[in-house]
Structure 1
Amino acid sequence: MAGGESAFEQTFSFSPLPKSFCFQEDKNTLTLLMKWSMLGRLSAQTYSFDSNFHPYSYETFALCFFKDPQVIASLSNMEAGVCMPLGITELVPCTKISMELFDPIYSCGILRPSGHVVKCFHDVYPDYDELRQMLQEEDSEHYYVVGKMERKEFLFRLFKHLCLGGALCQYEDTIDPYISTTKKIYKDLIRKIELFSMILVSRYSKDESGQCFPGTREEEQTFAYLIVDPVKRNVTLLFHIYGVGKMTL
């Protein structure tokens, strides 16, 4: 058989749904995303699909998703701008749904009792702090204050993405805006989903034509997640293309 493909290999087709998320319309959230240089670059879109999804088929699902003509057409119209991908994927754990995941950050020296982030010295970044150091640098004494397995959770990843922001991010002096925005977006994305799977699309992957998704070069803050609701047969794409965000609402 051509290409060694099985006659029983599962395929999926997708259609965009006219669904919006509260965080995309909430003025306070949009103001913070603008401050963090993520406005217009962090996008979410929901699609329906036509076949049963099983976690073991996540690679096929992601490949079908990004090759689907309707997905490609909808992505080309989204503000951040992307091109046709061939993604390398992995399943992301989503077992932690409580903000208690971040409790250790409050009692280890990263924050002052007021919630203000403690500043620290860095060889490269003149305005650096203990929170970003914990998120980014494995040799930080606080790196594993949130456990190794917990750092892999989608809830933690979302928090980290918001804390690090875009190219002209204006970092917060306190942790509260990061926590509240993480909670809002997370609840918005997974509300009313009783069972779901999370797929991370590799930050840097190319097909034979050289096109790639989510971005043209490897960058930690360029990311894409597929949030799959197998019961309703819906999938939400959440992605961010690192760069300079919009300066006005």
Structure 2
Amino acid sequence: SMEEESYKFTYLPKTLPTLCSKDFKQYFEKWYLKDRLRAWCFSFDKSFQHYRKEKFVHDFFHDEVVLANIQAMSPSGAWGYVGMQTYNVAIEELNSTVTSLNFFDKLKNEGIVRENGSICKCFDEFYEGVTISDELRKMLLLEDSDNFECYSDEERKEFIFKLFFHFVIGGPICQFEDNIQPYLDVTKSLYKDLIAVQRDGETKEMIVLTKAYKVKTMDSKGCMTYPAEEEHDQTFAYLTIDPLKRQAVLLYHAWGKSLW
């Protein structure tokens, strides 16, 4: 028929290892992400074609099984199910080519982080409710900072860069790390939970099979309805799609209001 069939989804009641890791619990608490960062896993019934990505995301957010399982956090910090609304979806395709933490070596080369991993401090600046007291946050957030250019626009669109960014910035009341290692460890762990890699038969190089998208839904007026009603750098929903296993994971976080 002319009308393409919708993708159908099945909920998989599994937790991402990183999000329930005892080793990382202390960091999620310190960074004010514990219980605020959630993920839901689904399988889907038809092969994923990249050119149908908009259709896939549209079907995802209109699927009864999906809507009965994914949640959103209200500004007061309460979780609730999303329920059926009429949506337009917007997707931003991310790059997922990184297969090694060498991607972050530049931080040392550029003097943002010292050889021993300690993060170079700077005078406090404030940006959208975030305190910037070191060169790392400055590089991530301030476009006019000296080091902003050390990661190109394409590199900043890497899914692993996005995860790293979110961990470094944390929640509204965040105790930051003085050393970069915990940020790298948690980023690597979650990235590995979310992406599938395969060795290329000819070049023998590792390639990422998973596609990653930043997704949001809008009401008829074009106002964002998911992941939240207010836009913020730290409010996000990412949909990762493993075309081989036919699995999709929605990773969610809402900035919310701080406690004081």
Q: Please tell me the TM-score bracket, short chain as reference.
A: 0.7 to 0.9
Map 1:120-159; keep pairs closer than 5 Å: 120-124=122-126, 128-159=133-164
Partner secondary structure for residue 121 of structure 1: strand
The one-letter amino acid of 2:234's match is Q
TM-score, normalised to structure 1's length? 0.87
Cα 1:154–1:188 change in 2 (3 A) is same
Bigger CA drift: 134-143 or 237-246? 237-246
**Residue number among 194, 216, 230 corresponding to 2:243 in the alignment:** 230
**Residue number among 18, 21, 27 corresponding to 1:32 in the alignment:** 27
Instruction: Give the corresponding residue for 2:119.
Output: 117
The answer on whether the counterparts of 1:16 and 1:47 sit within 8 Å (CA) in structure 2 is: yes
For residues 26-55 of structure 1, the C-alpha deviation after alignment (integer angstroms, 9 at most, x for no partner) is: 112122111111111111111011122111
**1:174 partnered with 2:169:** no
Cα 1:212–1:126 change in 2 (3 A) is closer
**Residue number among 34, 59, 68 corresponding to 1:64 in the alignment:** 59
Instruction: Give the corresponding residue for 1:208.
Output: 220
Deviation at 1:244, TM superposition (A): 6.0
TM-score, normalised to structure 2's length? 0.83
- For residues 10 and 133 of structure 2, the distance between their equivalents in structure 1, rounded to whole angstroms, comes to 43
Bigger CA drift: 10-19 or 57-66? 10-19
The answer on whether the counterparts of 2:14 and 2:41 sit within 8 Å (CA) in structure 1 is: yes
Deviation at 1:182, TM superposition (A): 0.3
Instruction: Give the corresponding residue for 1:3.
Output: none
Partner secondary structure for residue 34 of structure 1: helix
The answer on whether the counterparts of 2:88 and 2:218 sit within 8 Å (CA) in structure 1 is: yes
Aligned pair count? 239
Partner secondary structure for residue 88 of structure 1: strand
**1:90 partnered with 2:92:** yes
Give the superposed CA RMSD: 2.5
Greater relative contact order (Cα < 8 A, sep 6+): 1
Bigger CA drift: 7-16 or 50-59? 7-16
Instruction: Give the corresponding residue for 2:202.
Output: none
For residues 177-198 of structure 1, the C-alpha deviation after alignment (integer angstroms, 9 at most, x for no partner) is: 1011101111122246762211
